[in-house]
């Protein structure tokens, strides 16, 4: 498909984007637009420092592998709330995320981001699409992210693929942490993701959750920070499947393979709740 790119000087304000998201509650089509957005976005030192503290990354002179997602988030919001985008933002479910760090993320002031949606597929509960985000510096592609999103209630032709859950073998505990009741609000303040399901029990109940739940990207970032000694500085992929949500507050346990070019991880909660399965590999 030939993609039509729109180059922006800057994304719209988050306030206007969230107002646009709140005004759309129904599916308005069954195909993805052929448009994409591009924009140069600069890292903000104070925000980067706050993100490191929030997700337990050390300051080693490089961007955390998940931080370009935070930089690109307003651009992603603008794509997903565009007039030509057929699915309402509120209600999308984040099923899977993969980041690829192709080269070291050091010495970065700004990056040129490109965001588009692709790969619409039937699913047992509706349909899924991939939100693709790519970041370039002066030398070319540096970082890539694939976020798979579920659109509940979407009717798609074809058979929904059955993806077998890849349960890892026995893994040793690598870390554990407590997700307190306000982590959703603190993550939103730093990263700009003010989805109501993360902010309070009252706002989460409006969308069918009995309690607020932690952001999946916070859990992924915490896992990546805890496993920083297992992975190289670059040339790796790190992916997770988001399974049962982490209800707030709760304690979770991260287990992982030994350090190496490839490995597996899992995030468990109390009562045999499996929150997240993941893996890393060498590119």
- What are the pLDDT digits (tens) for 43-72? 999 999 999 999 999 999 999 999 999 999
Q: What's the pLDDT score for residue 161?
A: 64
Interatomic CA distance for residues 107 and 122, integer angstroms: 41
Is residue 41 within 8 Å of 163, Cβ to Cβ? no
- Summarised one tens digit per residue, pLDDT across range 110-152 is 999 999 999 999 999 999 999 999 999 999 999 999 999 999 9
Phi/psi at 35 (5° precision): -100, 160
Phi/psi at 251 (5° precision): -100, 140
Q: Convert 214-227 to b/e letters by CB count within 10 Å (16 or more is b).
A: bbbbbbbbbbbbbb
Within 8 A by CB and 6+ apart from 84, the residues are: 33, 35
What is the domain range of residue 78?
1-163
Interatomic CA distance for residues 114 and 143, integer angstroms: 11
**Element at 223 (helix H, strand E):** helix 216-226
Pick from 144, 163, 182: which residue ends a domain? Answer: 163
Whichever domain contains 44, its CATH number is 3.10.129.10
80 and 185 both lie in a single domain:
no
224 and 188 both lie in a single domain:
yes
pLDDT band at 164 (very low <50, low <70, confident <90, very high): low
184 and 123 both lie in a single domain:
no
pLDDT band at 162 (very low <50, low <70, confident <90, very high): low
197 and 110 both lie in a single domain:
no
178 and 109 both lie in a single domain:
no
154 and 181 both lie in a single domain:
no
The partner residues of 93 in beta bridges, in order of sequence, read: 150
Number of domain units in the chain = 2
139 and 182 both lie in a single domain:
no
41 and 154 both lie in a single domain:
yes
101 and 198 both lie in a single domain:
no
The partner residues of 140 in beta bridges, in order of sequence, read: 137
- For the residues 233-248, what does the mean pLDDT come to? 97
Pick from 148, 163, 178: which residue ends a domain? Answer: 163
pLDDT at 160 over 80: no
219 and 136 both lie in a single domain:
no
Phi/psi at 50 (5° precision): -65, -40
Q: What's the pLDDT score for residue 168?
A: 75
10 and 136 both lie in a single domain:
yes
Pick from 143, 163, 183: which residue ends a domain? Answer: 163
157 and 174 both lie in a single domain:
no
Within 8 A by CB and 6+ apart from 41, the residues are: 11, 71, 72, 74, 75, 110, 111, 113
**Element at 252 (helix H, strand E):** strand 250-256
- Summarised one tens digit per residue, pLDDT across range 172-224 is 999 999 999 999 999 999 999 999 999 999 999 988 889 999 999 999 999 99
- CA dist list (Å): 88 to 27, 38, 152: 6, 21, 10
**What's the chain's Rg over C-alpha atoms?**
18
Asked if the bond preceding 249 is cis, omega within 30° of 0, the reply is yes
Q: What's the pLDDT score for residue 206?
A: 87
Q: What's the pLDDT score for residue 248?
A: 97
Interatomic CA distance for residues 56 and 90, integer angstroms: 29
């Amino acid at each position: 498909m030939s993609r039509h790119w729109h180059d922006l000087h800057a994304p719209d304000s988050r306030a206007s984007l969230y107002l646009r998201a709140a005004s759309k509650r129904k599916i308005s089509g069954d195909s993805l637009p052929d448009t994409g957005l591009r924009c140069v976005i600069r890292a903000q030192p104070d925000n980067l420092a706050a993100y490191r503290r929030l997700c337990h990354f050390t300051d080693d002179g490089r961007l955390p592998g998940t931080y370009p997602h935070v930089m690109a988030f307003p651009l992603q919001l603008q794509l997903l709330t565009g007039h030509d985008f057929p699915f309402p933002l509120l209600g999308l479910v984040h099923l899977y995320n993969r980041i690829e760090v192709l080269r070291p993320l050091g010495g970065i002031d700004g990056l040129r981001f490109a965001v588009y949606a692709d790969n619409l597929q039937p699913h047992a509960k509706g349909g899924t699409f991939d939100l693709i985000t790519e970041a370039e510096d002066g030398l070319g592609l540096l970082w890539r992210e694939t976020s798979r999103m579920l659109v509940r209630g979407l009717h798609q032709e074809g058979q929904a693929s059955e993806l077998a859950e890849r349960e890892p073998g026995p893994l040793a505990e690598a870390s554990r942490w407590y997700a307190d009741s306000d982590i959703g609000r603190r993550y939103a303040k730093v990263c700009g993701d003010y989805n109501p399901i993360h902010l309070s029990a009252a706002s989460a109940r409006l969308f069918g959750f009995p309690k607020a739940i932690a952001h999946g990207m916070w859990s992924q970032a915490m896992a990546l920070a805890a496993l920083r000694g297992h992975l190289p500085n670059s040339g790796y992929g790190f992916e997770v499947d988001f399974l049962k949500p982490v209800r707030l507050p709760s304690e979770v346990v991260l287990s992982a393979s030994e350090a190496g070019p490839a490995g597996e991880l899992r995030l468990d909660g109390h009562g045999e709740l499996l929150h997240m399965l993941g893996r890393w590999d060498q590119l």
